[in-house]
Amino acid sequence: MKYLHLVRILMQDEEGKEFNIYFSGIAGEKCTYKIRGNKVEQTAGPDVKIYDKYFEVPDEDRKYL
């Protein structure tokens, strides 16, 4: 598991481009991230601030998460 407490779904759009959807696996938390490559394209939910730190890490340091 790359991010603790986050569930990942691999999705594909109509054009065949892949992206990841992450959402909280903790009951009551509301946060969703849409990520394509290493870029956060969209966020939703009042609890996104809890997990923003996971996606703000420089690429060279992500391997330590």
Structure confidence at residue 22 (pLDDT): 92
Structure confidence at residue 51 (pLDDT): 85
pTM score, two decimals?
A: 0.73
Structure confidence at residue 50 (pLDDT): 85
> What distance lies between CA 54 and its chain's CA centroid?
8
Q: Please tell me the distance from the alpha carbon of residue 32 to that of residue 17, in angstroms, as a whole number.
A: 19
Tens digit of pLDDT for each residue in 8-34? 999 998 999 999 999 999 999 999 999
Band (63; pLDDT cuts 50, 70, 90):
low
Comparing C-alpha atoms, which of 32, 13, 37, 5 is closest to residue 21?
A: 32
